[in-house]
A and B are shown apart, each in its own frame.
Chain A
Amino acid sequence: MITEELVAGISLSLIIGILVKVSLVILTLLALVTVRQAGLMDRVVSVPIGNWFKGVAWGFFWACLVLTTGVILIV
């Protein structure tokens, strides 16, 4: 049986919450790398819808940033 309070003052929610927050920060950094990667890929092969992919990468990065900030502040 898993209990909510593992030891005094440290709960399961706290540990998983911290893990999720750290993972979200890492994912945001990876999203930033993806933005750079999309730009480099478009430089190697420039195609008409290359800007759309860059837009998607930027959109994902901003979504990650906003949601990560929200989770860190609220949870």
Chain B
Amino acid sequence: MPEVYTKKKPVDKIQKPEKSADNLVETVKKLVAEGFSEPPWRSLTACPPKTKFEAQHDQEEVLLLMRRHPVTNLWWLALIAMLVGVPLFWNEFPLIANVSGSVQLALAVFWYLGLAFFVIQNLLLWFYNVYIVTDERVIDVDFFGLLYKNVNTTQIRKIEDVNYSQVGMMSSMFNYGNVIIQTAAEQRSEDRREESSAFTFEAVSNPDRVVKVIGELMEQEEKEEYEGRTR
């Protein structure tokens, strides 16, 4: 009998996106099971508990919350470690060596308060510069210094392409990299960094898994659009 009559009918292509919705749930569940949901200062958090953001819709669910890998803070921590001992050598500086003891003490107070300010600033900027993936949107929150904030938002269905890059020894060792999301209308926002896209998730942990989740979200969105269930 010819093979055409005996061979099983190939799986209908329409079923493929249906599978992707399950894949998405499975991928996020797997991340949660692996302990990616806590603690809240992780570089990659899946389904973070008690996490909300500005302009979040009622039914919108946060799937991923990301920030720069903690290792990227090493440069300023090393700088602080070096600067913290400077007041012990005040007398080595000719200008300071000639002032009275009380002024030297005041200078040391100012020095340590300045360092504390630097630490708090860097800590706040690291912690709150976040990238959020929900079941509807992708949000990139950028804070620069004290007075500048930039929030980029796009719908999942407007994403054209998503990829990631890992460059350098540190990113390979600690498994972090940049996730670059290209949208349909690639607008350039008022972003102060030299980013490849308005939606660049810088130095996030496990970029391959982030790309996988976003890819599955895109497939799910395509399926919903196909079925006329777009939100």
Contact = CB atoms under 8 A, between A and B. Distances in A.
Interface in A4-55: 4, 12-13, 16-17, 20-21, 23-24, 27, 30-31, 33-34, 37-38, 40-49, 53
Interface residues of A, number: 38
B120 A45 contact: no
Contacts of A4: 98-99
Given A41-B128, A45-B141, A48-B51, A20 B40 contact: no
Say whether chain A's binding surface is mostly helix, strand, loop, or mixed: helix
A46 B117 contact: no
A47 B48 contact: yes
Contact of A41 (B49, B110, B124): B124
Interface of A: 2-4, 12-13, 16-17, 20-21, 23-24, 27, 30-31, 33-34, 37-38, 40-49, 53, 56-57, 60, 63-64, 67, 71, 74-75
Given A75-B105, A75-B106, 19 more contacts: A3-B98, A12-B95, A13-B99, A13-B100, A16-B107, A24-B110, A27-B113, A27-B114, A41-B124, A44-B141, A45-B132, A45-B141, A46-B50, A46-B53, A47-B51, A48-B50, A48-B51, A63-B113, A71-B106
